[in-house]
Amino acid sequence: MEFINKNGKGLLLCLAIAIPSWFLGKAFPIIGGAVIAILAGMIVTIFFKEKGSFEAGIKFTSKKILQWAVILLGFGLNLNVIVETGKQSLPIIVCTIATSLIIAFILHKAMHIPSNISTLVGVGSSICGGSAIAATAPVIDADDEEVAQAISIIFFFNVVAAIVFPAFGNAIGFDTTSGEAFGIFAGTAVNDTSSVTACASTWDSMFNLGSATLDKAVTVKLTRTLAIIPITLVLAFWRTKKQNSIEDGKKVSMKSIFPFFILYFIAASIITTIAVSNGISSDIFAPVKELSKFFIVLAMAAIGLNTDIVKLVRTGGKPLIMGLCCWIGITGVSLILQHIQGLW
């Protein structure tokens, strides 16, 4: 009862934004519910600056429910399928992730972009958009405005990729009789799952390939998702070391910063893998995967409510350039490596 009294109003407000955003995201998948929710939250907060009794519930939603979303995301990962696909796509995935993170680090230093937003844009660009940002934000203690900014940047380039890449792939000569090459390209060069799906589905429709491209792209994308694990663990160690270096005589314990929710994410993946290996249909996990996506939309509504849209626009120039450079870098490396491997 105490939990409801403390957090109920804020949770209800977030739900009031998230539920219509979820359905709008289904209607317009190229945009997605998460982006709609974060924009709606930012608009609402223009007229609702003093949150008062809503504050605790909004904070709970933006922090805890975001972590729960990442945990439930694990139920969508069959590690056996990912290992099989990874044999072919892993070199491309590793190189594109490394490229994005290196570009983000260089521009962070060269353009004096704040550390947290640089990390979120680099990780979001390289791994899996909103899900990676959701996993990384609690580890580096990013605030809601930083998360909102990173999500907005990733969204912009997702939309561009989903619209441009099918025509671009045809122009540069991807095989149109098989969805394999373009599926790998979409899975490695497009950030968020919704945009990967839109991009690959367009290619299937253009060349009557059924769902061949989509199946390949989504599997490659899920393989990229596993990179959340090492990235968040490395960031946790880095943050511990950084905190200890700036705290005067105080020792910051790894336990206080360690992203334990990532362990639950791994456990969820293992449960799915064991279940499917023993003949249980992966469809049984579909409702949990949908709940994970809804939790991300719900958390984004809360983050939007804590974000000053005017400040976001005013400070967004340099991070947007960083996002562009990461996106171009990932696209270029994916194409080069596919050419080397003879896939394109």
**pLDDT at position 275 over 90:** yes
Q: What is the pLDDT of residue 265?
A: 83
Q: What is the pLDDT of residue 85?
A: 65
- Which carries the bigger pLDDT value, residue 257 or residue 18? 18
DSSP-assigned states of every residue in 257-280: H--HHHHHHHHHHHHHHHHHHTT-
Q: Which of 218, 227, 170 is nearest to 193 (CA)?
A: 218
**pLDDT at position 18 over 90:** yes
Q: Mean of the pLDDT values across residues 148-165?
A: 84
Q: Is residue 239 part of a domain?
A: yes
Q: Is residue 33 part of a domain?
A: no
Burial of 247 (0-12, 13-18, 19+ CB in 10 A): exposed
- What does each C-alpha distance from 283 to 73, 260, 279, 290, 293 come to in angstroms? 14, 27, 11, 11, 16
* DSSP H or E stretch at residue 252: none
254-265 residue pLDDT tens: 566 667 777 888
Q: Is residue 139 part of a domain?
A: yes
The one-letter code for the residue type at 77 is L
Burial profile 69-85: b = 16 or more Cβ within 10 angstroms, e = fewer: bbbbbbbbbbbebbeeb
Q: How far apart are CA 62 and CA 138, in angstroms?
A: 10
Q: Specify whether the CB–CB gap between 206 and 166 falls below 8 A.
A: yes
- What does each C-alpha distance from 197 to 42, 162, 247, 327, 335 come to in angstroms? 27, 9, 45, 17, 19
Tally of domains in the chain: 1
Least confident of 34-43, 172-181, 243-252: 243-252
293-324 residue pLDDT tens: 899 889 889 888 887 777 767 777 899 899 99
Indicate the average pLDDT of the chain: 85
Q: Which of 145, 134, 114 is nearest to 71 (CA)?
A: 134
Q: Which of 170, 166, 179 is nearest to 343 (CA)?
A: 179
Q: Specify whether the CB–CB gap between 178 and 146 falls below 8 A.
A: no
Q: 135 is written with which tokens?
A: 């996993």
Q: What is the pLDDT of residue 251?
A: 59
Please state the separation of Cα 297 from the chain's center in Å. 12
Q: Is residue 45 part of a domain?
A: no
Q: Specify whether the CB–CB gap between 218 and 204 falls below 8 A.
A: no
Q: Is residue 85 part of a domain?
A: yes
Q: What is the pLDDT of residue 3?
A: 83
Number of neighbours of residue 250 by Cβ within 10 angstroms: 8
Burial profile 156-168: b = 16 or more Cβ within 10 angstroms, e = fewer: bbbbebbeebbee
Please give the residue range of the domain that contains residue 272. 74-296+308-340
173-209 residue pLDDT tens: 898 888 888 999 998 888 877 778 778 888 988 898 8
Q: Is residue 44 part of a domain?
A: no
Q: Is residue 330 part of a domain?
A: yes
pLDDT band, residue 122 (cuts 50/70/90): very high
Q: Is residue 61 part of a domain?
A: no
Q: Specify whether the CB–CB gap between 104 and 121 falls below 8 A.
A: yes
